[in-house]
Structure 1
Amino acid sequence: MNKVGTVVIGAGQAGLAIGYYLHKDREDFVVLEGNERVGDCWRQRYDSLRLFSLPRYASLPGLRIGTQDCPSRDEMADYLQQYAVHHELPVRTGVRVTRLSRDDEGFLVETTAGDWRAGNVVVAAGMHAVPRWPSFADELDPSIKQLHSLEYRNPSQLADGTVLVVGAANSGTDIALEAVKTHRTLLAGRHPGQVPVDIDSAAGHFFTPVVMFLFKYVLTRGTPMGRKAIANAVRNGLPLTRNKLEHLDAAGIERIGRIEGTRDGRPLTADGDVLGDVRTVVWCTGSDPDHRWIDLPVFDDSGRPRQERGVSTDVPGLYFLGLDFQYAIASASIQGVDRDARFLVKHLGRRTVARAVPVDSR
């Protein structure tokens, strides 16, 4: 049985950010990563993925990413791997957590490579692990190839013929713009709105610091404006950031309404149109974190962890990091994760000190 002060579960940007501050404070901790390499959480996304953030905002504390522009998927993955080595963080790769529980001795973290005892646990396992499929997906004819955006890598996976991309947010529009180069492409779903400037232009670079400030410090759960913005984002999703409607139209993508079911094994739109010639469906319908291994009473009726700024409200010593809108609109971004990580390390440090003080001296 391995014993450590804090176990961090996940070595993506959230786990490495809090690892940096734990290391800086000389805390006793380990970071457990289920993938074989740090950064594989990014390498498993679609090939053409490119971040929205300039290097200043795509960098974790203590090491700037070595790109001149918004990094690609692989550049981000390699940067995270470099980051763990540069800061000599105690990351154990290829160690998948199978169960997290607690008893009188503290937390028990069971893994595929031995078990750990810990006084604190930080769950930083990522937000996009379990794909959301519509209930009627299994009603489609077996001849139609179906992929979720979490499975999609590049157009070589698409069958010959018409491609239907369901979900018109950032991932959906990225995939549609790639698919339309070689396939007739339909894009279904409500338009979520769009950022009014080209983020890759000089004007976009000028306004980025203002937007990041708003997302990080103004649109938080601590302000009325922030609570309203977060509720709207949870309900409707975030607007298109890089792609614009004019890009979709210029590329020849055919935009249609919602897909609400099937008829005779074919996709059926809300207007009653049957899409009979579709050969591939790419579901860009969202994803959820995988918390099934957490054997603790910490979730609400919707399956979300009950927490305040990442601190579990049910189990002392349990923390969450990297949740969407954990504290602010920016919480799922690298800069937001940095701020949330600092907050959690301070809370964890106060808890450690409090536990170390003898009862008689309080």
Structure 2
Amino acid sequence: MKHYYDVVVIGAGQAGLSMGYYLSQSDLSFVLIDAKSEIGMNWRERYQSLRLFTPSQFCSLPGMPFPRELDYRPSKDEVADYLQAYARYFKLPIHLETRVSSLKKIGDAYLVLTNHGSYYARKVVIATGPFQIPKIPDFSKNLPDHIYQVHASEFHDPSQLQEGPVIVVGAGNSGAQIAVKLSKIKKTYISIGRPIKYQHTHVLGKSIFWYLDRLGIITADLHTKRGAWMKITSEEVYGYDLKHAIEKKQVLVKPRAISTIGSQLCFADATALYVPNIIWATGYRLDYSWIHIPNVLNSAGHPIHDKGISPISNLYFIGLRWLSCQGSSLLGWVGHDAKRIFEHLYKKDSIAMA
């Protein structure tokens, strides 16, 4: 089957939905396509206890407030429910269970090949987000099968684990939350690659995100001094739960995991440890192997763009970390990029049609 549109948006998560909102205000024909079976599935599949650090007033996409009281921290399922309600409310055209296998440029148009046929479009917005392929160290493959290993993206609840201690490798926000929760029921280690920088969730009774937003920090252009400084600072862990758990020895600290020996993990301080359960909270890598257009990606496989605008005409990216600012991949601020990118593609369209 062949489909023809002015715009195809690849990905129907928070970034794709935000793009869909602005496209729905125009006269352009468009569709959002997504490999998942339902909207919000990426959130619903996360670990059971996940709650956002951004309060509800900073979790809204364009045109629809998040439906909870101020300062409420939504759960992963509440975010998924909100995204589903958003898509329904604005009647966004979405094709689910549609996996993209190839993106090509044919003359002035784009051809998107999927498991449900071909999509032809004059413009394409890639909204597949920053959490694409789980990143796990290669040395993990050397561990024997009786060691249970799981990436944080596939860890849902403690029932997945076998008897005995657990180590969480990686101390970003996900790793910190998982380690603290597990420490209440299991002997828990955490492997930390560099000193953790903790951030208060509230200051003088207000969410830290109130200050980041009000002072323009979270929306500071990455090309400004303020934005550049924010980008090079290490990831902050919000809240002090992990710090307190470490101080009370409820979570035991190991340095960076660097290799294995037999059934043991080896660490940067030349120690080794046998732990029957390993949760890799080691982040993600991008995968654009399906894009078959020259000069779209750099040598590292990352998109070449200026705040989401590709040098290839009528091709755009949205939802990536630091696309234009710190908030680019966050619920409450991805709409800023969506509006700017929509205005660019619609202006170009208007000029071309004049």
Name the TM-score class by shorter chain: over 0.9
Gaps of 5+ in 1: 358-362
Aligned to 1:101, what secondary structure does the other structure show? strand
Please tell me whether the aligned partners of residues 18 and 335 of structure 2 are also in contact (alpha carbons under 8 angstroms): yes
Q: Could you list the runs of 5+ residues in structure 2 that have no partner in the other structure?
A: none
1:135 positional shift: 2.1
| Aligned 1:132-281 pairs, distance under 5 A | 132-189=135-192, 190-195=194-199, 197-199=200-202, 203-205=205-207, 207-213=208-214, 214-218=216-220, 220-230=221-231, 232-233=232-233, 236=234, 238-244=235-241, 245-250=243-248, 252-276=250-274, 278-281=275-278
Q: TM-score, normalising length from structure 2?
A: 0.94
* Paired residues of 2:23 and 2:342 also in contact (CA < 8 A): yes
Given that residues 215 and 330 in structure 1 are in contact (C-alpha distance below 8 angstroms), is that contact kept between their aligned partners in structure 2?
no
Which of the numbers 279, 283, 290 marks the counterpart of 1:282? Answer: 279
Deviation at 1:106, TM superposition (A): 0.7
Letter paired with 2:10: I
What is aligned with 1:106?
A: 109
Does residue 93 of structure 2 align to residue 90 of structure 1? yes
Structure 1 CA distance for aligned equivalents of residues 140 and 109 of structure 2: 43
2:53 match: 52
3-state SS of 1:81 partner: helix
Residue 100 of structure 1 contacts residue 107 of structure 1 at CA under 8 Å; is this kept in 2? yes
Q: Cα offset for 1:59?
A: 0.8
Corresponding position of 1:35: 36
Shift of 1:168: 1.0
CA distance in 2, matches of 1:243, 1:126: 28
Distance 1:250 1:203 in 2: 26
Q: Deviations over 1:180-228 (max 9, x none)?
A: 1221110011233011x244x86243x432112433333x223122113
Contact kept? 1:34, 1:95, Cα under 8 Å:
yes
| Residue 21 of structure 2: aligned partner | 20
Cα separation, partners in 2 of 1:274 and 1:283, compared to 1, 3 Å: same
Hey, what's the Cα distance between the residues in 2 that align with 1:185 and 1:52?
23
1:280 partner amino acid = N
Q: Measure how far apart 1:64 and its partner are.
A: 1.3
Alignment of 1:340 onto 2:337: yes
Aligned to 2:75: 72
TM-superposition CA deviations, 1:281-312 (whole Å, max 9, x none):
11111102332211122111111100001000
Q: Decide whether the 8 Å contact of 1:212 with 1:330 is kept in 2.
A: no
1:293 equivalent in structure 2: 290
Q: 2:118 aligns with which of 101, 109, 115?
A: 115
How far does residue 243 in structure 1 lie from its aligned partner after superposition? 4.2
CA distance in 2, matches of 1:185, 1:247: 10
Q: Which residue of 1 aligns with 2:316?
A: 319
Q: Is the 8 A contact 2:31 2:95 kept in 1?
A: yes
Moved more, 256-265 or 12-21: 256-265
For 2:63, give the aligned amino acid.
G
8 A contact 1:173–1:248 mirrored in 2:
no
Partners of 2:166 and 2:189 within 8 A in 1: yes
Give 1:323's aligned amino acid: L
Cα displacement string for residues 251-284 of structure 1 (whole angstroms, at most 9, x for unaligned residues): 70111211111123310111111103x1011111
8 A Cα contact 2:287 2:301, kept in partner: no
**Is the Cα contact below 8 Å between 1:177 and 1:251 reproduced in 2?**
no
Which letter maps to 1:116?
Y
Note if contact 2:321-2:328 (Cα within 8 Å) is conserved in structure 1: yes
Counterparts of 1:229 and 1:61 in 2: how far apart (Å)?
Answer: 25
Q: Deviations over 1:120-172 (max 9, x none)?
A: 00000121120111121111222211111111111111111010110011111
Contact residue 24 and residue 92 of structure 2 kept, 8 A: yes
Partner of 1:360: none
Give the Cα–Cα distance (whole angstroms) in 1 for the partners of residues 204 and 25 of structure 2: 36
SS of match in other structure, 1:75: helix
Secondary structure, aligned partner of 2:7: strand
TM-score when scaled to structure 1? Answer: 0.92
Moved over 6 A (4+): none
